Structure 1
C-alpha cells in the first residue's frame, strides 16, 4: 500500500520537463501525441516514467527487442484513460474499492457515454475505465492503424503467458515498478 501512497504523491506533483517533451517528440507522431496528451498530466508523467524504466530494463536485459515499438507501447499504454473519463480521486476510489471490495467494484463498474452523468454514474464509469482501459486503448490505437502496439497494450494487465513478446514483458515489469 505504501507504493500507492507514493503514486498518489507523484500524481499530485506531476509535471513534464523540456527533455520529456523532446522524448515524446522522438517516439510519437502527431496522431499518437494527440492520444498521449488526451490523458491527464499525472498519467502522462506515469507513462513517461514507465518508458524510462523500460529503456533501462531493456538495456540490462540484453535480449533482442524493438526499442521504438517498446517506447511507443510504454508511452501509449494508458491512452484508454482520458482526462474526460477518470480523475485522480476516481482512481484512488477504484484502487481502494478493488483492493477491499473487488467483487463489488466489478459489479459497480459500468460504461456510460453520456456527458450528463450524476455523481455516482461518473464513479461507476471511472471504475469501468479503470478495469477496461487496456482494451479501450487498444481500440484507439487500432483506429490509427497501430496494430502491433495495440496488441501489446491490450494485454499489459493480463497475466503473463507463454509466447508474450519481449516488449510486453518489459512493459509489464516497468509498469509494475512505477
Structure 2
C-alpha cells in the first residue's frame, strides 16, 4: 500500500521526455504509437516504466526476452483508452479494491469500475482488431490473470506492472 501512495504522488509529476520517446519509438510501430499516445501521460509513463523494468529484470535473471514482450509491456494498459480514469479515480479504485478485496467488481456497470477491472480484455480486443500478434494479445489479455502461473514472461510482466 505504501508503494501505491508513492505512485500516486509520482503520477502528478510524470512527463514523457526524449529518452522515453526514443524507447517507445524503438519498439512500437506507427499504428501502435498512435494508439499508445491516446493514453493519459501518467499511463504512458507507467507503461514505459513497466517495459524498462521488465528489460532490466530479464537481464538480471539472464532471461532472454524479445521485442514482442516489450511491446506487450508498453501496450498492456491500452484498454484504458476506452474510459479515461483521472488520478483520483484510479487511486480511489485501487484503494477500494484492496479494502473490499475485489468486492467492488460487482459494480462493473459503472464505466470506471468496468475499465479498472476489464481493461486487459478491452486492450486485447483493440489490439486484435489491429491484427496484433497472438503472443502480445495473450500477454495484454492476461496481465491481471492470477490463474496462469506457468508462463515466465507473463509472470515477469505482472510483477513489473505491480511494482510500477
Give the TM-score normalised by the residue count of structure 2. Answer: 0.92
Match of 1:145 among 128, 131, 139: 131
Offset of residue 80 of structure 1: 0.7
Question: CA-to-partner distance for each residue in 1:113-155, whole Å, 9 max, x for gaps?
Answer: xxxxxxxxxxx21111000011111111111111320111111
1:125 alignment counterpart: 111
Q: Which consecutive unaligned segments of at least 5 residues does structure 1 have?
A: 111-123
Structure 1 distance, partners of 2:83, 2:150, is 35
2:21 alignment counterpart: 21
1:5 alignment counterpart: 5
Give the TM-score normalised by the residue count of structure 1. Answer: 0.85
Offset of residue 175 of structure 1: 1.0
Offset of residue 63 of structure 1: 2.6
Count residues in correspondence: 163
SS of structure 2 residue aligned to 1:137: helix
2:157 alignment counterpart: 171
Question: CA-to-partner distance for each residue in 1:94-120, whole Å, 9 max, x for gaps?
Answer: 11221223465112221xxxxxxxxxx
RMSD in angstroms over aligned alpha carbons? 1.6
Cα 1:104–1:57, aligned 2, differ >3 Å: closer, same or farther? closer
Cα 1:154–1:84, aligned 2, differ >3 Å: closer, same or farther? closer
Cα 1:160–1:174, aligned 2, differ >3 Å: closer, same or farther? farther
Larger radius of gyration: 1
Q: Which consecutive unaligned segments of at least 5 residues does structure 2 have?
A: none
